[in-house]
Amino acid sequence: MSRAKTLTSWMVPLLVMGLIEAAAGLVFAEPYQVIDVTDGGTITGVARWNGDLPELQPIEIEADTGVCGEEVKSQALLVNLKNNGVSYVLVYLEQVEKGKAPADKHWLHMVNCQFTQHIFPFVRSQTMAMVNHDSFFHNPHFFNAKNLSLLNVPMPDPSQQIEHKFLRTPLRNEKGVMRLQCDVHNNMNAYWAGFDHPYFAVTDADGRFVISGVPPGKYTLVAWHEGYKVIREEAGRPIYDRPHIREQEIEIKPKETMTVDFEFPVRKVYVDY
């Protein structure tokens, strides 16, 4: 089946308004510069869980249960019991001024009543492509850091693809890691982050990550994971507490492979049901 492909040109008026606001209220930083990185290094590591592992309640699904099922495991905390590796940790470098070219396109897939990218980082200057692989309605809904609606895209058609570009320079309250959800399905909860550089990774099922092609220099390496404790529910959707964040100052040398591991949680977690 051919995909229906749409560019979100209907967002242009909102983006123009955003540009006016940005010009009035923000100081623009120098844009990220793409260069040939011939002596780049590699950062690799594992995010591991240390301590008692809380058991999170499953999420009761409220829409399309005939296809999606009655409940689904929460993705807020997934730990591989074989090596204690933590999935879905966003690892990234801060304030990278120049380096390798980013990917042309970043994909957000909706498959079997779930976002396949629970953590969805992308480069703001590049195209973001959203694809609905299911036979029913989804609407990826992006929120800003103040939990206000930023982008809400209805996708009613199977195999529908919609492309969008955010402003290269984030507006006020568009920095950091922010919420993403499908309003139709209360179990579809994720996070997004827009970067001006491509030096980020999300840990896999073993908790491993790799960031390659890093220009030699000193950096701050950040590991971000969402909170695990439910503080409230909104329309059957769990809202978790503040994230767990680790930072480490590093210096990468030419063609060096550096190992940096992170340990979670950063604080004691009590989950009461």
pLDDT mean by block of 10 residues, the chain; 273 residues: 48 43 48 96 98 92 95 96 97 96 97 97 96 96 95 93 89 90 97 97 98 98 95 92 97 98 89 60
Calculate the alpha carbon distances from 102 to 34, 65, 121, 198, 231 in Å: 8, 38, 12, 5, 37
Q: What is the model's pLDDT at position 173?
A: 84
By CB atoms closer than 10 A (0-12, 13-18, 19+), residue 10 is: exposed
Q: What is the model's pLDDT at position 14?
A: 42
Q: What is the model's pLDDT at position 271?
A: 67
Can you tell me the distance from the alpha carbon of 87 to that of 136, in angstroms, rounded to the nearest whole number? 28
Q: What is the model's pLDDT at position 112?
A: 95
Calculate the alpha carbon distances from 2 to 53, 116, 134, 161, 164 in Å: 44, 21, 14, 10, 19
Q: What is the model's pLDDT at position 158?
A: 87
Can you tell me the distance from the alpha carbon of 165 to that of 11, in angstroms, rounded to the nearest whole number? 10
Q: What is the model's pLDDT at position 19?
A: 41
Helix (H) / strand (E) containing 234: strand 230-234
Cα atoms found within 13 Å of the Cα of residue 12, Cβ hemisphere only: 3
Q: What is the model's pLDDT at position 39?
A: 97
Q: What is the model's pLDDT at position 7?
A: 52
Q: What is the model's pLDDT at position 29?
A: 58
Q: What is the model's pLDDT at position 24?
A: 42
